[in-house]
Amino acid sequence: MKAVYKILLVIYLALGATEVLATQHVVTWDVSTDLNSWASGRTFKVGDQLVFKYMKGLHSLLELSSEKEYKNCNIGNAADSKNGGNDVVKLTKPGTRYFACGTLGHCDQGMKLKIKTVASNGSSQDSSQDSPSSSSTTTSNTPTSAAPSSRTFGAFALALASYCIGLLYILD
């Protein structure tokens, strides 16, 4: 019986560890929100999710396929459309994605959003580029708290798995 609780604990810990890697960005999807400044204050990484919250029936969510369509509010041939009012979009790869409301006139009123997704290790590389003063990279204290890059994620998951298995034995 005790082993069951230990396994549950380990699963819980493993889920918790993967949870912190992805961020949910909740978008208040309406005409009055300044969507540009909302987006500019955030970093969108591969693995993150966008959640568009809006009054169902009043708005909808279209994904446009080009910058040109986005600029001109050409919503005629959208790549994807949703209308649930609580629409989740997963950012699966780096690049730019374009969203607009499908209700007539709303896109022209500014109800559109451009999202630039970066690789999950992108921002940390940028900050360490040309700053010789930041010599405070002490890797000795807590190496486990460092955010894993997408490339090393597999290795990280493997390490986590072995850590969890190890934990099972330690708890015995």
Pair of tokens at residue 169: 């034995």
End-to-end C-alpha distance for the chain, whole angstroms: 12
Q: Give the strand order in the sheet containing 44-45.
A: 44-45, 112-118, 95-100, 61-64, 80-82
Among 20-28, 41-49, 76-84, 110-118, which window interacts with Cu ion (CB under 5 A)? 110-118
CA distance 71 to 14: 43
Which DSSP symbol is given to 145? G
Of 59 and 97, CB closest to Cu ion: 59
Q: How far is the CB of 104 from Cu ion (least distance, A)?
A: 9
Q: Does 89 bind Cu ion (CB under 5 A)?
A: no
Instruction: Tell me if 102 sits within 8 A of 75, measured CB to CB.
Output: yes
Question: Is residue 59 involved in binding Cu ion (CB under 5 A)?
Answer: yes
Among 27, 101, 113, 115, binds Cu ion (CB under 5 A): 101
**DSSP H helices in 90-152:** 122-127
Residue 25 or 59 with smaller CB distance to Cu ion: 59
Q: Does 50 sit near Cu ion (CB under 5 A)?
A: no
> Which of the ranges 9-17, 43-51, 98-106, 112-120 carries the binding residues for Cu ion, by CB under 5 A?
98-106
| Site stretch for Cu ion (CB under 5 A), options 38-46, 111-119, 140-148, 159-167 | 111-119
Which lies closer to Cu ion via its Cβ, residue 30 or residue 118?
30
Min dist. Cβ of residue 129 to Cu ion (A):
40
Least separation in angstroms between CB 85 and Cu ion: 11
5, exposed or middle or buried, with CB in 10 Å at 0-12, 13-18, 19+? exposed
**For residue 126, what are its two tokens?**
């940028």
For residue 133, which amino acid is it?
A: S
Q: Which amino acid is at 51?
A: V
Member of 10, 78, 89, 111 binding Cu ion (CB under 5 A): 111
Question: Which residues lie near Cu ion (CB under 5 A)?
Answer: 59, 101, 103, 106, 111
